Structure 1
Amino acid sequence: MKAGRGRLVLRQRDLGFGLIDRSLVNSEIIAGFECGLVHGGRHDLLQTTRHMPSGRMRDHLRIARNHGVFTARDGLVPGHDAVERLRIAQDEGVQTIWDLSHYHRIDDPGAYVRAIVRQAQAVCGAERLWLCPVNEPSLYPMLAGMSREHAVNMAVVMAEEARHLHPSVGILVNDPITGVGDRQFAATDAIVSRTFVDVIGVNYYPHTARTSLSKVLLKTWRRYGKPIMVSETSWHDGHSVHHRRYPGLNKGSWLRHVQDEVKIANDRGVEVIGICWYPMVDCPPWHAPRSRNRWSHGLIRQDLSVDPALSAELMAMMPHAAAA
């Protein structure tokens, strides 16, 4: 059926909120694992969250899987062993969408993606390789010290090269889209106009939202006519703006709120393939990588215990709970 304004998408209804195409994602809720290089390049979030092959990566994936989450966003970013990361995700049975640059500067993006594709084929054969070439290109001037145009060019080069080399590549592009003005879509427009994109990602948080998520999803659908992912959202227990804007909510009720907004968009013909809770693991403040404190925005705590409100919500969504 041709994509376009007001298209009715016929999909399998699953768990009550989405119309899900199982050829794209394996679970409606997606576990997002921080893989960014932040605080002027001095804070590697993969290291400080211990989401490493030699650390707790397997533990994190197993906890997510035990909550019915079988798809993840993770990173094959510079400075980390891509082969080991690919192998662990495959061993744990978690479908993964891999960020290649999450505020990282890559001097030769073509060479970098060629190496990643070779490594992915060595570990995973010809199975579909999902990539997010550049996370949030509109924020690169502030967080990575390069222009938005540079970040867009990097994304296009890596997407094109990956499609040329791999028999089955899926491309996610994502950016903060928190309103419906044209400026919100500038970076995504620039990428979509130059290369084929499979899924449009919308990053939407309580403290930056300018309008309702359902309106954002509808505007994004009408603009691109492509499947959409809520590619980042979460609730931060310690964020005063979250509590001021949405009094009385917690992580579990924020997830329900997002699901309700997705359902509204679904009912108007928008194809939303999943919601990524980002991040899944509490992390130190970006500006304080050595801090013993953690931002409380994930399911998984520093000691591998879980947030009770979000855990309960995810467990209630699992098929055995629905059947009961």
Structure 2
Amino acid sequence: MFDSFFMAGFECSSHRRADGRRLDLLASSGHDRLAESDYRRIGDLGLRVARDGLRWHLIETAPGHYDWSSFLPMLRASHRNGVHVFWDLCHYGWPDDIDIWSPEFVERFGKFAAAAARLIREETGETPMVCPVNEISYWAWAGAEVGKMNPAAHGRAAELKRQLVRVALAAIEAVREIDPQARFLFAEPAIHVDGGSGPAEHQAEAENYRLSQFEAYDMLTGLAAPELGGTPGHLDLVGMNYYPDNQWYLHGSTIPLGHHAYQPFRAMLAEVFRRYGRPIVVSETGAEGTARPAWLHYVASEVEAAIAGGIPVEGICIYPVADCPGWEDERVRPLGLLSEPGPEGTREIYGPLADEMRRQEQDRAPADVARRRPRIPKELRIGP
């Protein structure tokens, strides 16, 4: 479906922490000023598809007035270097002058989404590809259940999830008014929660928690809360964000890879496809430090097994592709293919991860891929 199976994801969170401090990971990682060299570098590595983001709070300086100066250099750099980008329109952050709980938030975001799509098409001549709202499920939990980030509420996760679905649906409708062939990627955490050896009530609680990962997609498709306006046609590409700590015991520790309670990733991919029948993208995955190549080897192997079983997985996004500081401190996490910028603004390539990616690409030789990968039926396609 895309020009490369492996994708690059640039961390673009722009939320306020619970203490009120605004984060801007595009700036703190250096990507906003190094977009040209970053896109050239990932292109040289064979990554022709990426995830990147707009910073709504910098762009909409007043209601309905857009300053694109923070976005245009990145948009133009990606286009010049032949990298096709899914642009996150809202990655946890929004302008300070609007209330996220209000109906006006939904309307205003829809207009912003339309303006962004129009600009992308005018600048590049290409069909816009966007992720309307990043990680609705996680944002609802972190922002409105435990108050770790904006809007820093407690006990209102269900309410925020519904509001973010309204926002996403408004963005889809607005972007399709600009270009009916626009592509949409959603990125939701893929999790497994195990009840361990607890009583039946504990097991049921664990299963309910596990099933909660599907609530946002169920709302987007109208399977749940149909009054929000979701339909199956609102879901295009199903994104699954998957990391080493995405499986745990209810109220307990992380389940280690290889443990009998660890759910194979291929099974999680198959469950999502059975549930929604849409093409899948591993929209985020990665590990820290020396675990990076081994983790990619595991994820890619599981994806290949899923593909061999008839599951249309269209790509794996290494996320973040460039090292960046954490949300709570200034420590730069060694997470990606590209290091933090050096004194001259240059980044080094983490060789072991690049080598593993190349090995995986070699295993996916074109003739072999054509033989093993299923064709996506016409009814599962949106756009050309």
Which residue, out of 183, 188, 206, partners 2:217? Answer: 188
5+ long unaligned stretches in structure 1: 1-21, 238-248
Task: Indicate whether 1:99 and 2:88 are aligned.
Answer: yes
2:184 is paired with a residue whose SS is strand
- Which residue number in structure 1 is paired with residue 371 of structure 2? none
> For the structure 1 residues 305 and 321, does the alpha-carbon distance in structure 2 shift closer, same or farther, using more than 3 Å as the test?
farther
Higher helix proportion: 2
TM-score (norm 1): 0.82
- By how many angstroms is 1:183 displaced? 1.2
| Counterpart Cα distance in 2 of 1:121 and 1:229 | 23
For residue 134 of structure 1, give the secondary structure of its aligned residue in structure 2: coil
How many Å apart are 1:109 and its aligned residue?
0.6
* Deviation for aligned residue 1:61: 1.3
Cα displacement string for residues 220-266 of structure 1 (whole angstroms, at most 9, x for unaligned residues): 000000000000110112xxxxxxxxxxx721121111011112211
Correspondent of 2:240 among 188, 202, 209? 202
* C-alpha separation in 2, matches of 1:120 and 1:183: 34
**Counterpart Cα distance in 1 of 2:348 and 2:364:** 21
The separation in 1 between residues aligned to 2:358 and 2:80, in whole angstroms, is: 23
Matched residue count: 283
Structure 1 segment 30-69 matched on structure 2, within 5 A: 30-40=7-17, 42-52=22-32, 55-69=33-47
Separation in structure 2 between the aligned mates of residue 321 and residue 112 of structure 1, nearest angstrom: 39
Q: Please state how far the C-alpha of 1:317 moved relative to its aligned partner.
A: 4.4
Displacement after TM superposition at 1:192 (Å): 2.4
CA distance in 1, matches of 2:350, 2:338: 7
Partner residue, 2:350: 307
The one-character-per-residue Cα deviations of 1:137-185 (angstroms, maximum 9, x if unpaired) are: 0122323327111111111110111012214200111210213842110
Q: How does 1:284-323 map to 2 (within 5 A)?
A: 284-288=325-329, 291=330, 293-302=331-340, 303=342, 304-317=347-360
Higher relative contact order (CA 8 A, sep 6+): 1
What secondary structure sits across from 1:168 in the alignment?
coil
- What secondary structure, in the 3-state scheme, does the structure 2 residue paired with 1:101 have? coil
Tell me the CA shift for residue 216 of structure 1.
0.9
Q: Is the 8 A contact 1:316 1:322 kept in 2?
A: no
Q: 1:8 is matched with which residue?
A: none
Question: How large is the Cα RMSD of the aligned pairs?
Answer: 2.1
Confirm whether residue 165 of structure 1 aligns to residue 142 of structure 2.
no
User: What amino acid sits opposite 2:26 in the alignment?
Assistant: L
CA contact under 8 A between 2:280 and 2:314: conserved in structure 1? yes
Question: Is 1:280 equivalent to 2:309 in the alignment?
Answer: no
After the TM superposition, which residues 32-181 of structure 1 pair with which residues of structure 2 at under 5 Å, given as runs?
Answer: 32-40=9-17, 42-52=22-32, 55-78=33-56, 79=58, 81-105=70-94, 107=105, 108-125=108-125, 127-141=126-140, 142=142, 143-145=149-151, 147-179=160-192, 181=210
> CA separation of 1:220/1:110 partners in 2, compared to 1, >3 Å: closer, same or farther?
same
Alpha-carbon distance between aligned partners in 2 of 1:250 and 1:322, rounded to the nearest angstrom: 26
Runs of at least 4 residues off by over 3 Å: 315-323
What is the SS of the residue equivalent to 2:132?
strand
Corresponding residue SS for 2:317: strand
Task: Give the counterpart letter for 1:77 in structure 2.
Answer: R
Are the counterparts in 2 of residues 68 and 314 from structure 1 also a CA contact under 8 Å?
Answer: no
Greater Cα offset, 208-217 or 269-278: 208-217
Structure 2 stretches of 5 or more lacking a match?
Answer: 60-69, 96-104, 143-148, 154-159, 193-206, 223-229, 249-262, 367-384
Check if 1:263 corresponds to 2:243: no
Output the amino acid matched with 1:150.
Q
Name the CA distance, whole Å, in 2 between partners of 1:61 and 1:259.
Answer: 23
